[in-house]
Amino acid sequence: MSTAAHWLTAAEATRAFAARTLSPVELLDALLDRIALLQPKLHAFIRLDAEAAREAARAAEREIMSGRVRGPLHGVPVGVKDIIDVAGLPTTCHSRILLDNVASADAAVIARLRQAGAIVLGKLATHEFAIGGPSFDLPFPPARNPWNPAHHPGGSSSGSGAGVAAGLFPVALGSDTGGSVRNPASCCGIVGLKPTYGLVSRRGVFPLSYTLDHVGPLTRSVADAALMLDAIAGHDPADPGSSPSNARLFGRDLDRGVRDLRIGFVRHFHETDLPAHPETTAALAEAARVLQAAGAELRDVTLPSLNEFAGVNRVILTSEAWSIHAPWLRERPEEYGQLARRRLLPGAFIGAGEYVGAQRRRAQMIAAVEETFRDVDVLLCASSMDPASRIDDAEETARTYPRQARTPFNVTGHPALAMMAGLSSGGLPLSVQFVGRYFADATVLRVAAAYERATGWHERRPPIG
């Protein structure tokens, strides 16, 4: 095999299984060796469930030998952000509050992944309750960026991003309330997809904000993001936010290119609203050029400002998060880390009128984005405005973390994907974001696949290990 097993994508691994050039046990052993080497440097895992994974890999191998394949991810190991329930394992949310919180059942997305044949490898680091930040006052160390472990990997799905980028597992699950799948994808140079709101069940996922939360995949290729979405998407009547859509075959258009597509470039996000680092600006201009050269029609478009999107998101998120955390914050505030406590407490002071006002403005913002989609098929815009800062530089992290254009699409619920768009002069990933119409996740993946083929950034590997 020309590619080291730990760098195989999920699609490549399943093809190797089918050809009998690799077995699920051999792949798992290679990943466990990789984890033993890099976990002390990256801290991607909170809990590695190696023995259960070995048992599942042996079962998957026996099934392949007998001619039975359960689904498109048969025998593929997956990492799971530790706000998502896996039966028999603690769901700690990276917090002292929930250290003994053992899940009694799988989350809906875990059940779907198991049905597709995937193997749960373990629980991954996150920011505390998916809202804190890279923190050193929690029961587990923060995950680090494999491109340079002195830098943070983005969050809050930090272990998911770091582990996929470092070759600890081919695919992972994260959650995204204000960009928490797309931020680690941007910082770690991988693919992070926030599906259309309601497309993926959140049952069994610890909530942060009921009307903003999404669950999505982090992968090293666009094809793997489509495979993962095929596995986890679908209506769940037990999730009040679940859509009745049961769409599948999200990878059906990956090879179609962009020749017949109109792409709206949201330049003001990174040129005016939050002026980006010059290297980010250059990477976005090059992304637009690449897509135009591939046959897409590029148009400049204007949406509400990033500052207004961020304000609406923050009012809604902190109000809903306070409704979840109020009892613990009143009774056990000292058990929270400083960053999470600081970000959750403002929800206590937001009134009903402000919350309703934010929801009303949200509806207007949705209408504005929908109007834009009358004239274009996909949006191109920034994800992060800056490369990842040093993990020990709290001031710079606090400055750069809010400098992003992911939050708008949690407010509106449109599908959005972030992926690598280059490397900074310091050797850290730069990123681009693609956004589509509701339930046009396949079109977002189509554009991302065309960009991936044209640039080859997905073939670059972090200089670690």
Q: How many CB atoms lie within 10 A of CB 246?
A: 9
- Residue 179's alpha-carbon distances to 61, 81, 157, 310, in angstroms, are 37, 14, 9, 11
143: DSSP letter: P
> CA-to-CA distance for 249 and 227, rounded, in angstroms?
8
Tell me how long the chain is: 465
Amino acid letter, residue 150: A
198: left (phi over 0), alpha (psi -120 to 50) or beta: left
Question: Which tokens belong to 159?
Answer: 């272990």
- Residue 305's alpha-carbon distances to 241, 271, 314, 368, 411, in angstroms, are 27, 11, 14, 11, 13
Query: What amino acid positions are annotated as catalytic residues?
Result: 81, 156, 180
> CA-to-CA distance for 409 and 382, rounded, in angstroms?
12
Question: Which tokens belong to 71?
Answer: 């689904």
Contacts of 120 (CB under 8 A, 6+ apart): 49, 52, 53, 56, 77, 78, 80, 86, 110, 113, 114
Radius of gyration of the chain (CA): 20
Listing DSSP states for 5-63 in one string gives GGG--HHHHHHHHHHTSS-HHHHHHHHHHHHHHHHHHH--EEEE-HHHHHHHHHHHHHH
- Residue 259's alpha-carbon distances to 160, 297, 363, in angstroms, are 33, 8, 32
> CA-to-CA distance for 221 and 251, rounded, in angstroms?
12
Contacts of 314 (CB under 8 A, 6+ apart): none
